[in-house]
């Protein structure tokens, strides 16, 4: 059973506190409340919470003082400032002093819940993900990203929905403008989600026995729906070994990794071509499943190959540079497999994925 995440609320507004308690307990969080700064600091020292919601205006201390005091001894606790006072300048100041996020009252509970989940995910990624390494500076970037990009996107999407309802969409220029805004919002939402996927820690509870051939069938269907390969003159072929053994893995993560590879293949064949996925079982000293993803598209220049799996490296005009970085993290770091690439400019590309066939890990 996964333990409840413990949230400490430091706020003197009883009505707002009651609202927070009702929303958060309804989502399974364990809640503790302090109605002044000193009590909040004492509670943190006595029983360190997983996250703190902090008001700036308190009866004894300022929220800024409370933030600095807690940060002096507890650098890893996510602290979200939730207040009805101040604007963007205050938000920036609080971030500099160690706040994880800054939300203004009145607050939409969905935005609050998303902010809390993002903050907890980032903290757990920092603590659990051994491959963080040189990307430690991202711990400062992603909280700003969540606040400065994702939250305004909710407002833009809501406003765009109203504009759609009240506009004459027979006006071609207006309809095209609305379409562009909608696509850009979706693009930014996708980018933010990829960033969060990159830092999100693995969840052992989601490891289960899966059939890799089934995952391949699912992503072929998804690619057909999402990318319309037939209209682009692209043929997708799946050659699946019927003797493939089942393995223990995270179904959703493998699906995401395979779909990322598939999307790259589709985008590499703007003039049409063939994308072939082949599965096979290799009986060696260490039995493994091999999956080949082969396209006959543009290929990749040799000087780019060594950088392909680096976060934020991309040769695409609209790429986030996280797709293949996420693939490597999922396949190698979370499943003990390997991902390799064979390519050349105008020679197509083959990704080879190897997944070990192990007995079910203990405790899962």
CATH number for the domain including 50? Answer: 3.40.50.2300
- Are 12 and 73 found together in one domain? yes
Q: Are 41 and 98 contained in the same domain?
A: yes
| pLDDT of res. 346 | 81
Q: Are residues 173 and 46 in the same domain?
A: yes
Q: How many domains does the chain have?
A: 2
Residue 184 lies in a domain: yes
Same domain, 64 and 81: yes
**Which two structure tokens, joined as six digits, stand for 81?**
């400032």
Co-location of 210 and 323 in the same domain: yes
- Nearest Cα to Cα of residue 312 among 216, 191, 213: 191
The answer to whether residues 49 and 179 belong to one domain is yes
Residue ending a domain, among 155, 178, 199, is 199
Cα dihedral sign, 34-35-38-41: positive
Task: Tell whether 169 is covered by a domain.
Answer: yes
Whether 193 maps to a domain, the answer reads yes
Are 229 and 324 in the same domain? yes
Rounded CA separation 62/56 (Å): 6
Considering 135, 169, 199, which residue would you say is the last residue of a domain? Answer: 199
Structural domain harbouring 103: 6-199
- Stated pTM of the model: 0.53
Domain boundary among 164, 184, 199: 199
Query: Tokens 């930014």 — which residue?
Result: 188
What is the pLDDT at residue 87?
A: 61
CATH code: domain of residue 260: 3.30.565.10
pLDDT at site 364:
44
User: What's the confidence (pLDDT) of residue 363?
Assistant: 41
| 78 and 122, same domain (yes or no) | yes
Q: Is residue 361 part of a domain?
A: no
- Residues 18 and 123 both lie in one domain: yes
In a shared domain, residues 230 and 351: yes
Q: What is the predicted pLDDT for the residue at 207?
A: 86
Using CA atoms, how far apart are residues 281 and 340, in angstroms rounded to an integer? 17
- Identify whether residues 48 and 189 lie together within a single domain: yes
pLDDT of residue 320: 59
Say what the pLDDT of residue 240 is. 96
Which parts of the chain have pLDDT scores under 70? 1-3, 86-89, 92, 125-148, 150-151, 154-155, 194-205, 311-321, 359-364
């Amino acid at each position: 059973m996964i333990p409840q995440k413990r949230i400490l609320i430091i706020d003197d507004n009883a009505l707002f506190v009651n609202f927070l308690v009702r929303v958060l307990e309804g989502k399974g969080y364990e809640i503790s409340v302090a109605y002044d700064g000193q009590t909040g600091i004492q509670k943190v020292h006595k029983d360190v919470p997983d996250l703190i919601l902090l008001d700036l205006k308190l009866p004894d201390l300022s929220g800024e003082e409370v933030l600095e005091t807690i940060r002096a001894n507890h650098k890893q606790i996510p602290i979200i400032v939730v207040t009805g006072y101040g604007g963007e300048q205050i938000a920036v100041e609080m971030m500099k002093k160690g706040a994880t996020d800054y939300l203004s009252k009145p607050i939409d509970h969905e935005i609050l819940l998303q902010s809390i989940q993002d903050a907890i995910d980032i903290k757990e990624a920092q603590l659990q993900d051994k491959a963080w390494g040189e990307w430690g500076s991202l711990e400062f970037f992603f909280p700003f990203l969540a606040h400065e990009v994702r939250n305004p996107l909710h407002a833009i999407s809501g406003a765009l929905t109203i504009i759609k309802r009240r506009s004459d969409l027979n006006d071609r220029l207006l309809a095209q403008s609305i379409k562009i805004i909608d696509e850009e919002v979706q693009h930014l939402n996708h980018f933010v989600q990829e960033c969060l996927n990159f830092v999100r820690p693995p969840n052992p509870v989601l490891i289960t026995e899966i059939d890799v051939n089934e995952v391949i069938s699912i992503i072929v269907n998804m690619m057909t729906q999402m990318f319309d390969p037939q209209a682009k003159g692209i043929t997708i072929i799946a050659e699946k070994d019927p003797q493939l053994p089942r393995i223990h893995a995270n179904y959703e993560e493998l699906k995401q990794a395979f779909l990322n590879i598939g999307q790259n293949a589709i985008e590499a064949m703007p003039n049409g071509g063939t994308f072939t996925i082949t599965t096979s079982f290799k009986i060696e000293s260490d039995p493994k499943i091999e999956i080949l993803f082969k396209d006959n598209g543009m290929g990749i220049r040799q000087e780019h190959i060594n950088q392909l799996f680096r976060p934020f490296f991309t040769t695409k005009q609209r790429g986030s540079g996280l797709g293949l970085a996420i693939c490597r993290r999922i396949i190698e770091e979370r499943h003990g497999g390997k991902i390799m690439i064979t390519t050349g400019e105008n020679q197509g590309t083959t990704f080879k994925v190897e997944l070990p066939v192990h007995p079910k890990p203990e405790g899962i």
